[in-house]
Structures are given as C-alpha cells and as structure tokens.
Amino acid sequence: MSSTSSSVLRADQIWIDGKFVKWDEGHMHVMTHALHYGLGVFEGIRAYRTHDGRLAVFRLKEHIQRLMDSAHICLMKMPYTAEQLEEACLELLRKQRDLFSNGAYLRPIAFMGDGAMGLGAVNPIRAVITAWDWGAYLGEKGIREGIRAKVSSFTRMHVNVNMVRGKISGQYVNSILAKREAVLGGYDEAILLDISGFVAEASGENIFMVNKKGVIKTPPLSSPILDGITRDTVLKLLKDSGRYVEEVTFTRDALYIGNEIFFTGTAAEITPVREVDNRQVGEGKPGPVTKFVQDTYFRVVRGQEPRYAEWLTYV
C-alpha cells in the first residue's frame, strides 16, 4: 500500500512511455520542456466501484479521445494510439485491483520532454499515466450541502488566447490564480467570467443554474469553456428525463437570483453551490434539480442504470 499523504492512497506503479515503473522512480529531467513552458495535455478520469463490486472506468474512450484531440490542437504528435492509452489505463488499474476499494482517479498526461530548449523546440513527446484515490474534489460536505463560490477578478481567456477545446497544462495557470484568490478569501471555489462579462465556468468545473422559472441553463460551447465530459453526461441525463437545458450566456447577477447552481466535472462530480459572492442561492441548500442530477449520476457511474452501460469500461 502506498500513499501520497497519510490519508491518500496511490498506485505503487506508474505507466511511463509504455513501461510500468515504481511510483518513486517516476522522475523527469529538470530540463523537460513542459516544465519550463507548459506545453502538455492531460485528462482526469474516474473509475468507480460498481454496485456489484467490480471496478469500472467512466467514459474512458471519450476522455482519451479528448486527450488525443488536445495534443492535435497543440501540434503534439502522440507516440501512442488512443487504444494503446486506454489499455494502459486499464492495465494500471488491474495491477492495483485490490488497492482501490473506493475507486480511483486516473491522470493521463502527455508533454514535450527534454532536449532542445526555447519556444521553437520540438522534442519527443512523453506519456504518463498515474492513479490515486481522490475523494470529492470540493469535499464530501460540499457534495452534500453545497459550497461557497466567488466571482473571480481573473477573466477566462478569450478563445483566440487559449484553445478552449484543449485540456492544456499551461492554460491552467489562469485557473490556479483564480482558485488561490477564492480560497484565500475564504471561499471554496472561483467562478470566472469571459471577456464580455458573461459567466464562463469555475476554475476546474462547468456550471449549471436553474432560474426562478425552473429553466436550466449552462454556458454554450461558443463560450471560452472546456467541453466537459461530465457536462455532456449531465446534459444527456437531463434530456432523457424530459428536462430542457438552454445552452446560453448569462450574467453573474443571474446566478445571484437563481434557485439552484451546481458544478460538474470529473474531479468535482456534481457539487452544489449554496452561495455566490456572499449571496445565498435559493434556499441555501441543494435543490430538486441538483439532487436529481446527483442521484442519477452516481447511479450511472456505479452501474445501476443499464441504459447507460456503454459509458462504463470494466477493469
């Protein structure tokens, strides 16, 4: 058994460039290009213990395809196929089958390695997959009761400044600064606006709201937001339940007077927001739409909704 801290389990092996090595041997040279300039792409993928005790990876193919797309956007020639990376994820979990009793969080990452330096350098692409047991990203209490969010002073970058369809390492400095600002101010998470002042997304999550008329809204993909796989999942679940979602821009004060707000993301899963900028959202607790999404989502990832079985890849 290994751990990154006294309370977090991690795999005792890492997949690096096609080979498994011990966790403590997972080193990269200090001259790794991505360390200096941020050119890398990554994914966060969850595997869940299903209701029958098996381990299943949620929407593995979609995550790996987005990794490949992100690399393509960045002119990074991936040394492995999507199928090879999918199998590497599964094999890593097979080697740790007894360790992750509560499921696991997978982190595939690809980046420009060491060699030449400078912005024009083109070095071999390295690929790594790690896994650990990462609980609720914004806390179990946050999942149950909701969190406090702050509209950040940092703006989500324009679509000609960052590549919004890519999950690109260097772009997350914007999110880190926003998150740090929020946490230092006593909040749990940051909400970023776009350059026109419309709500974009949180530092690492997509956002949904329900207004006083019961209309569910989420920013459109024409906004500078990540095309979240959990976002896509929630849109599908809501549509299948007969609920309509407007993919439309809206302002921060629409959040203030909304009845419900929740974040979606692989790490955050479905996290309610009970307060924005010191203004209580609705009744200050998860509302009926949020609870429906949470309940349905967790049933799906645990294999209790057969109609969505194709989203699960069993280890």
Q: Give the Cα separation of 305 and 315 in Å (integer).
A: 18
Cα 234 to Cα 63, 240, 256, 269, 307, distances in angstroms = 15, 10, 22, 10, 14
Residue 98 confidence (pLDDT)? 80
Q: Give the Cα separation of 248 and 268 in Å (integer).
A: 22
The encoded tokens of residue 102 equal: 């509560």
Residue 165 confidence (pLDDT)? 94
Confidence band for 138, pLDDT divided at 50, 70 and 90? confident
Number of helices (H), then strands (E), belonging to the chain: the values are 8, 19
Average pLDDT over residues 132-145: 88
CATH 3.20.10.10 fits 140-301, yes or no: yes
3-state secondary structure of 51: coil
Average pLDDT over residues 18-42: 96
pLDDT, tens digit, 9 for 90 and up, residues 217-263: 999 999 999 999 999 999 999 999 999 999 999 999 999 999 999 99
Q: Give the Cα separation of 260 and 244 in Å (integer).
A: 15
Asked whether residue 3 carries a pLDDT value surpassing 70, the answer given is no
Q: What's the burial of 167, exposed, middle or buried (CB within 10 Å: 0-12/13-18/19+)?
A: buried
Q: Give the Cα separation of 171 and 153 in Å (integer).
A: 17
Asked whether residue 6 carries a pLDDT value surpassing 50, the answer given is no
Catalytic residue list? 167
Asked whether residue 43 carries a pLDDT value surpassing 90, the answer given is yes
Q: Give the Cα separation of 158 and 195 in Å (integer).
A: 7
The encoded tokens of residue 199 equal: 């709500």
Asked whether residue 77 carries a pLDDT value surpassing 90, the answer given is yes
Strand partners for 9: 3
The encoded tokens of residue 178 equal: 């926003």
The encoded tokens of residue 235 equal: 């849109």
CATH 3.40.800.10 fits 2-132, yes or no: no
Alpha helices in 16-129 (DSSP H): 33-37, 60-73, 82-95
Residue extents of the structural domains in the chain: 2-132, 140-301
Asked whether residue 52 carries a pLDDT value surpassing 60, the answer given is yes
What single-letter amino acid sits at 249?
A: T
CB atoms within 10 A of CB 211: 16
- Within 8 A by CB and 6+ apart from 92, the residues are 11, 13, 14, 15, 20, 106, 129, 131
Share of the chain above pLDDT 90, in %: 91
Are the C-beta atoms of residues 150 and 279 closer than 8 Å to each other? no
Kind plus residue range of the DSSP H or E element containing 142: helix 140-145
Average pLDDT over residues 93-122: 93
